């Protein structure tokens, strides 16, 4: 078994996102999907080329990126979400390659100018995240390529621990907590009503310095980190933008 296969996506991910997607339904192309697509050019300088989107969900970001003229391959583990992505591409009349499967164990058979992962980095342990970075550096990226990651920010999730609310999108109860020892947020949902069984996702959070340490030896290095909607880290304190946002966007490049 290869190192990537040994660090394949945790078993809970497919079931959790299949069920959440069944409740929420398809998302369409929303404003934040358009912002992500525009960030490909803003953060990497590429106005065209091949883009690999990991954990593409229902396809909103991938379709928005394809509408800008990029050649996009979208990989999604959840069969429900992969189906939504195919339907959305047809609805918008764009060419989108949708691959249903685990991106760490699936042979994509191509290299890309940009690899993106919106909201998915942190599922699994450190070995799993490192396997993603190693695969990007050795298998997926073409020479001179970039990785753009949304990374969950520990400062904000610690502050939100104990939140108990009803989600507007799904109408379901959602409780957030934080595992201080493992540096992971725990996100619990009641998809079948308050008396139904809860389902939870748990996601690793990384401070920027921890992401830099994780990337060492993977063939990638961190080029920049910035909170969403802000040009750069002008305030490193927890009371600044980085401490207020659920995550930050990191750009990594080949470490040559």
DSSP for 4-62, written as a single string: HHHTPPPTHHHHHHHHHHHHH----S-HHHHHHHHHHHHHH--SSSEEEEES-TTSHHH
Cβ contact 214:206 at 8 Å: yes
DSSP for 155-198, written as a single string: HHHHHHTT-EEE-TTT--EEEEEEETTTTEEEEEEETT-TTSPP
pLDDT digits (tens, 9 = 90+) for 63-110: 999 999 999 999 998 888 899 999 999 999 999 999 999 999 998 989
Residue-level pLDDT at 6: 39
pLDDT classification of 234: cutoffs 50, 70, 90: low
Q: Which residues of 243-253 are buried (b: 16+ CB within 10 A; e: fewer)?
A: bbbbbbbbbbb
Whether the per-residue pLDDT at 147 is higher than 50: the answer is yes
Residue closest to 224 by CA, chosen among 44, 33, 34: 44
Cβ contact 251:245 at 8 Å: no
pLDDT classification of 2: cutoffs 50, 70, 90: very low
- In this structure, the chain runs to a length of 256
pTM: 0.89
Domains of the chain (ranges plus CATH)?
3-152+206-254 (3.40.50.150)
Which tokens is 253 given? 């490049």
pLDDT digits (tens, 9 = 90+) for 18-71: 787 787 778 899 999 999 999 999 999 999 999 999 999 999 999 999 999 999
Residue closest to 144 by CA, chosen among 223, 216, 65: 223
């Amino acid at each position: 078994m290869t190192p990537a296969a040994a660090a394949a996506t945790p078993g809970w991910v497919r079931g959790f996102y299949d069920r959440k997607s069944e409740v929420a339904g398809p998302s369409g192309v929303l404003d934040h999907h358009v912002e992500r697509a525009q960030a490909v050019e803003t953060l990497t300088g590429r106005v065209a080329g091949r883009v690999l989107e990991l954990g593409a969900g229902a396809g909103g970001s991938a379709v928005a990126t394809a509408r800008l003229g990029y050649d996009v391959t979208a990989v999604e583990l959840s069969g429900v979400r992969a189906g939504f992505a195919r339907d959305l591409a047809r609805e918008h009349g764009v060419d989108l390659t949708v691959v249903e499967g685990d991106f760490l164990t699936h042979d994509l058979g191509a290299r890309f100018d940009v690899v993106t992962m919106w909201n998915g980095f942190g599922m699994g342990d450190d070995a799993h995240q490192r396997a993603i970075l190693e695969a990007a550096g050795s298998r997926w990226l073409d020479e001179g390529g970039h990785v753009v990651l949304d990374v969950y920010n520990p400062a904000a999730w610690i502050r939100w621990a104990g939140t108990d609310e009803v989600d507007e999108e799904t109408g379901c109860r959602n409780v957030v907590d934080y595992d201080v020892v493992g540096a992971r947020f725990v996100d619990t949902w009641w998809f079948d009503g308050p008396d139904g069984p809860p389902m939870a996702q748990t996601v690793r959070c990384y401070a920027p310095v921890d992401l830099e340490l994780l990337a060492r030896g993977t063939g990638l290095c961190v080029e920049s980190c910035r909170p969403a909607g802000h040009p750069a880290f002008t305030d490193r304190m927890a009371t600044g933008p980085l401490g207020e946002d659920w995550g930050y966007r990191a750009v990594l490049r080949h470490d040559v």
